[in-house]
Amino acid sequence: MTQLLGKIRSTPLLWLLVFVPVVLFTEHARPEAHVALFLLSVLAIVPLAAMLSLATESVAEKTGDAAGGLINATLGNLTELVIALTALAAGQYALVKASIAGAIVTNALFMLGASFLLGGLRHHVQDFNRVGARFQASMLFIATVALLVPSAVATADHVADPVALQHLSLMLAVLLIGGYVLGLFFSLGTHKEAFASSEHEAHGDAMPIGIALVTLAVITVLVAMVSHIFVASVEVAGAALGLSPAFVGFIVVSLVGGAAEFASAFSAARKNRLDLSVSIALGSAAQIALFVGPLLVLLSYVIGPMPMGLDFWPGAIVMMLIAALSAAMLTNGGHSTWFLGVLVLMVYAIFGLTLYVLPPAQ
């Protein structure tokens, strides 16, 4: 515990943890101050993400990068799940679908590209386990195809039966969750030797595993609480700032919701642990597509005003498909440089600018 407190005192970024009680108090005292709550929640999530990064790296030192990446992706995606559940209960299905599509694209492009860039600026060429990367990219591509089929078929064949589309979405949700569970059994069970990380030096500043796990649990709860405040204010604040709901869900919610994963992935890349960065980025994107999205479809029958389908607007279909194909191609070689990261970030910037200038019709 002394080591953890010392880390907080010596890291200026972690001083922003003071905004956690501030935003919780403000939400209680002035719940109508949406713009202020939006800005304060962002300032609170950033240091919580950094703390989550420190704890996850310490766990990864003991479990290996494959399991460490899975732990980080799961806990990081909890933020997106809380945001989506809040919007789901409120019937804001457009925001839910935008956040799903945005999380897939942001993790597969922004997180991966920024990891390549930051790691490449410190290390000339970086290597990573291409088997693990290809596995995650393949899982992401298959899941993306399943997410795109309802929309593509309905648009191309002019299907106007919402009940049939909902039944298809329900069956695909169950299929994807089953595939995700089998994928975990494959990568962490029967063929875990193929996903072993390259050797790296242990870091002496890693927290003991017990302290790291407790920190993960506490920070995850705080992230969920702050995320609830964030999603309650983001739509009104976005409108006040002139942002469309699609841009808010696709870009803003995805960037803020993925802050914990970004911190871990970027830190690992700078330490030449690109296996962990790639595992977090692609593992998180695949988990959103294979598990979180389908789970929201199932939960919509319980907490939503009506069942939600897996149909997305055409622009989201194109962006998710391009993101999945780009991730598959970029990780096929098992090597990266800083300029490769620049190219990936340019693709993401193209998507963001397009959504900002040409938002889809609601």
Q: Which of 263, 315, 352, 306 is nearest to 73 (CA)?
A: 263
Who's near 188: CB < 8 A, 6+ residues apart? 66, 67, 70, 195
Report the alpha-carbon distance of residue 58 to residue 357 in Å, rounded. 42
Q: What is the DSSP string of 153-209?
A: HHHHTT---HHHHHHHHHHHHHHHHHHHHHHHHIIIIITGGGGPPPP-PPPTTPPPH
The predicted model gives 337-343 an average pLDDT of 94
Q: List the single range of 280-289, 337-346, 348-357 with lowest mean pLDDT.
A: 280-289
pLDDT tens figures, 69-123: 666 666 667 767 777 887 888 888 888 888 899 999 999 999 999 999 999 999 9
Q: Is the pLDDT of residue 342 over 90?
A: yes
What percent of the chain is modeled with pLDDT above 70?
Answer: 86
Contact in structure between 45 and 253 (CB atoms under 8 Å): no
Query: E strands, the chain, where?
Result: 126-127, 335-336
Neighbours of 314 (CB within 10 A): 11
Q: Whole-model pTM?
A: 0.83
Who's near 164: CB < 8 A, 6+ residues apart? none
pLDDT tens figures, 175-198: 999 998 898 888 877 877 766 655
Amino acid at 343: L
Q: What is the pLDDT of residue 300?
A: 92
Hey, what's the torsion of the CAs at 32, 35, 39, 42, to 10 degrees?
70
Predicted confidence band of residue 322 (pLDDT cuts 50, 70, 90): very high
Higher pLDDT, 231 or 338: 338
DSSP 309: -
Predicted confidence band of residue 150 (pLDDT cuts 50, 70, 90): confident
Q: Which of 21, 35, 122 is nearest to 338 (CA)?
A: 122
Report the alpha-carbon distance of residue 345 to residue 7 in Å, rounded. 31
Q: What is the pLDDT of residue 113?
A: 94
**Mean pLDDT across the chain:** 83
Q: Which of 249, 228, 284 is nearest to 93 (CA)?
A: 249
Report the alpha-carbon distance of residue 120 to residue 320 in Å, rounded. 26
Q: What is the pLDDT of residue 224?
A: 77
The predicted model gives 116-142 an average pLDDT of 89
Q: Is the pLDDT of residue 362 over 60?
A: no
Q: What is the pLDDT of residue 161?
A: 74
Q: What is the pLDDT of residue 294?
A: 92
